[in-house]
Chains A and B, each alone.
Chain A
Amino acid sequence: MNKFKTLGLGILISFFLTISSNADSIKIGTEGAYPPWNSKDASGNLIGFEVELANELCKIMKAECTIVEQDWDGMIPALLMRKFDAIMAGMSITAERQKTITFSQGYADEVASLAVMKGSDLEGMDTPEGINLSLGGSDVKKALKTLTGALAGKTVCVQTATIHQNFLDSGDVGSVNVRTYKTQDEVNLDLASGRCDAALAAAVAFTDYADKSGKQVVLVGPTFSGGAFGNGVGVGIRQGGDDAIGKRDAKLLKDFNKAIDKARKQGIISKLAIKHFGFDASM
């Protein structure tokens, strides 16, 4: 009996020890399926721009961090349910999301683009190189009109719950046939198989896929930014509050903002961005 008591006590103590040692640690959620932002290597380890950046930011904050994996479509609910404390998953800062969570300052920004398979009749659309939806103006209007005409009746594939889906749902390019997928990998697969006439995502997501798979995926139309596409990618954090946990979340936001400032000044973000994107996507 005594043995069991000691054993029970030992388990209890080790349990409390784990809790207390976790008190200062930060759990960061990422998708692990959106290269080059975040992905996994062959043996299942999380890699990519945001995984390395997260480790650098934690070093600056002198915090112990663990990075955990979470499916994209459950990312924000999981944050709200406290499965982790921060999101670093290529998540753009949008007004829609800011109703539910808060964001640090942006650390990187990257344009979105349509992609098709080589030989598609959508190739060679007459549009400007890039449009910023926040600026508006006649150029943007004209480009959206061209896109509306070209995409009429086409099936455009996107990952679910992304800025890209929001844009297609917004009606800016008419009523296209939107098909949503759980991951960007599945979007790429169906673009290559021909089930999708076009796909919309971060431009690097397509160029990365084309590089790795050797498939003839080409970018078409303008690159998109602003408006539904948000204002860069930041760290998603729960909105702060007056209670102890809310205060901790508010402090976490401050710490991340400071750490991003420092990392930017030291050129860490630029360096990592060039390493993973091939160009300086930092902001």
Chain B
Amino acid sequence: MISSFPKLLGATVITLKLLSLSLFFGLLIGLLFAILRMNKNTIINKFAYGYSYVFRGTPLLVQIFIIYFGLGQIEYLRSTFLWVILKEPYWCAIIAFALNTGAYTSEILRSAFETIKPGLIEAGKSLGIPNKVIFYKIQIPIAIKQSLPAYGNEIILMLKGTSLASTVTLMDLTGVAKYIISTTFKPIEVFIVAGGIYLFMTYCVHNLIKFLEKKYGFQT
């Protein structure tokens, strides 16, 4: 049980890398699609809605399998430059995670944008502030503050979601735990240690969000 600890800690680095890269790309995707969702053009609006509907409506595991094993079956794709990225399980996992968390993030941000009181925007307009500046200086900061609790939840869900990377051969925390079990045949002990590490990471994320909420959130 104790001898497996250093190996599991080493694998935690991979898990954290997967998590941070997925969250980074996911946030960009989420912001983009949240803005598209609020667009008045029906086609753009429906497209953004369709994206979030599909990725929130299917299991993450299925999404990973489609991107990793599914796209790998398309012979044409293998002759394109895309294969350089899709050949690597690492990038396939990040693409799947980013698209998945991006869908949830877009919904979180959209609802945050919608809760902004129209009076705040009108106040900006009456002061003669350009629309763009109102968006960057008023809407985005308020939306971020509003969405912190829900987004914290999403980070935690994504952290646990990274364990699915082990299904496409990546040696993340869960992957290494399974590997150790395959040589020691001691599933309970090893999974408890791995679970403890996940729990500790969740604890850190939870407290970080709490701290940010206190610092930037609304005191009501």
Known: A160-B179, A180-B169. Contact between A194 and B78, CB under 8 A? yes
Q: B62-102 interface mask toward A, CB cutoff 8 Å, 1 = contact, 0 = none?
A: 00000001001100001000010001010000000000000
Is A80's beta carbon under 8 Å from chain B?
A: yes
User: Which of B28-36, B128-136, B181-189 forms part of the interface with chain A?
Assistant: B181-189
State whether A161 touches B183 (Cβ < 8 A).
yes
- Structural contact, A189 and B72, CB atoms closer than 8 A: yes
User: Using a CB-CB cutoff of 8 Å, which residues 152-184 of chain B contact chain A?
Assistant: 167, 169, 178-179, 181-183
Complex alpha-carbon distance, A268 and B106, angstroms: 63
Q: Are B87 and A76 in contact (CB under 8 A)?
A: no
A216 within 8 A of B: no
For residue A190, CB closer than 8 A to chain B, the reply is yes
Which of B72, B73, B179, B181 is close to A180, meaning CB atoms less than 8 Å apart?
B179
Flag if B178 contacts A190 (CB, 8 Å).
Answer: no
| Given A179-B169, A182-B167, A160-B182 contact (CB < 8 Å) | yes
What is the CA–CA distance of A96 and B183 in the complex, to the nearest angstrom? Answer: 8
User: What's the minimum C-beta distance from A72 to chain B, rounded to whole angstroms?
Assistant: 9
A181 within 8 A of B: yes
Contact B72 A73 (CB under 8 A): no
Within 8 A of B (CB), among A67-88: 73-74, 76-77, 80
Chain A residues, CB < 8 A from B89: 179, 195
Rounded to whole Å, the gap between the CB of A82 and the closest CB of chain B is: 14
Q: Which of A77, A165, A195 contacts B185 (CB 8 A)?
A: A77
User: How many Å lie between the Cα of A186 and that of B179 in the bound state?
Assistant: 17
Q: Cβ of A138 < 8 Å from any Cβ of B?
A: no
In the bound complex, do residue B185 and residue A76 qualify as a contact, i.e. CB atoms below 8 Å apart? yes
Please name all residues of chain B whose beta carbon is closer than 8 Å to the beta carbon of A194 when the two chains form the complex: 78, 83, 87
Interface size class of A (residues with CB under 8 A): 20 to 34
| Residues of chain A contacted by B167 (CB below 8 angstroms) | 182
Question: In the complex, what residues of A have CB within 8 A of residue B83's CB?
Answer: 194
CB–CB A80/B185 < 8 A = yes
A193, CB-defined interface residue at 8 Å: yes
Contact call A77/B187, Cβ cutoff below 8 A: yes
Q: How near does chain B come to A11, taking the closest CB pair, in angstroms?
A: 32
A100 within 8 A of B: yes
Q: Which residues of chain A come closer than 8 Å to B179, judged between CB atoms?
A: 160, 180
Chain A 177-221 per-residue mask, 1 if CB under 8 angstroms from chain B, else 0: 001111000100110011100000000000000000000000000
List B contacts of A160 (CB < 8 A): 178-179, 182
B11 CB, nearest partner CB in chain A, Å: 13
For the complex, give the distance between the alpha carbons of A80 and B189 in Å.
Answer: 14
Cβ of A189 and Cβ of B69 under 8 Å apart? yes
Q: Is the CB of B178 within 8 A of A195?
A: no
User: Closest CB-CB distance, A183 to chain B, in whole Å?
Assistant: 11
8 Å CB contact of B78 from A74, A186, A193: A193
Partner of B182, one of A73, A80, A189, A190: A73
Residues of B within 8 A of A (CB): 69, 72-73, 78, 83, 87, 89, 167, 169, 178-179, 181-183, 185-187
10 A-B Cβ contacts within 8 A? Answer: A76-B185, A96-B183, A100-B185, A161-B183, A165-B182, A182-B167, A186-B69, A189-B72, A193-B72, A195-B89
**Nearest 6 A-B pairs (CB), nearest first?**
A161-B182, A193-B72, A77-B187, A76-B185, A179-B169, A100-B185
What would 7 more interface pairs be, CB under 8 Å, given A73-B182, A189-B73, A190-B169?
A160-B178, A161-B182, A161-B183, A179-B89, A190-B69, A193-B78, A194-B87
